[in-house]
Structure formats: C-alpha cells, structure tokens
Amino acid sequence: MFSEEVRKGWIKEIYKDNPKVDVVVYDGLTVKCCQGVHANFILRGIRYVNDFEYEKAIADMNRSLDSHIESVFLTCLPQYTSVASTLVRDVIRNGGDATQFLPEPVVRSLQKAKANEYLV
C-alpha cells in the first residue's frame, strides 16, 4: 500500500530523536542483514500465543544460522492485541478512520495524500 521509501521516512521521523534507531531495507535472510549491520538482537512484537509460537520457530532457526544473534520478544498492551497491519490497511482502503492506531507522522502523511487527492 505504501512504498518502502515512504515507510522508511515514517520510521526515520518517528525515531528522529533516538540516534540508536536506524532503518534498513533488505531482501533475503534477516540473519544476513543483522550480520551486515553488526546487530546482535532482533526485536519482535507479540500479540497472541500463536504469534509467540510462530516467532519462536523463526528465532530458533535464526539462532541455528548464527548463534550470536538473539531474538527479543515484546508483548503489546491489551488495547492493541486486535490491531494488525492488515486490518488497519483495510480500514484506510475503505475510507475509515484508523488514526487511533497510527503514529502522528503517518496520520499527517495520510491526511496530506487525501488532501492532494481532492486537488486532482
């Protein structure tokens, strides 16, 4: 729905005051990307138990490929357990208001795109 460059720009803006956060777009194995940027940790979000089972299988495979790279799992707040990018995109595509689920830079970008749509 949004280009890599647009999404990369959002993340850079959201974390502009945190010099420890960088954005890397890559193809292929996550472990290879981590090796390329000298990262030793992969941070993953979990909403449900089945998310954990899926993410653990990936973490185990990554650990098998490189024992120096560890996955760290974060659980979300209860009010966000039902929020999934697929659902948010569906709300946006169908003209609904998804602002409560989006960071401010994304909301501004969507509002600007919508305003430009009306100008055309």
pLDDT digits (tens, 9 = 90+) for 11-51: 999 999 999 999 999 999 999 999 999 999 999 999 988 89
List the single range of 6-10, 21-25, 81-85, 99-103 with lowest mean pLDDT: 81-85
- C-beta of residue 71 within 8 angstroms of C-beta of residue 59: yes
> Measured between alpha carbons, how far is 109 from 8 in angstroms, rounded to an integer?
13
> Measured between alpha carbons, how far is 75 from 69 in angstroms, rounded to an integer?
20
- C-beta of residue 56 within 8 angstroms of C-beta of residue 65: no
Q: Which domains can be identified in the chain, with CATH numbers?
A: 1-81 (3.40.50.620), 83-120 (no CATH)
- pTM for this entry: 0.77
User: What would the two tokens of residue 73 be?
Assistant: 């799992």
User: What would the two tokens of residue 49 be?
Assistant: 């138990």
Label residue 1 by pLDDT band (50, 70, 90): confident
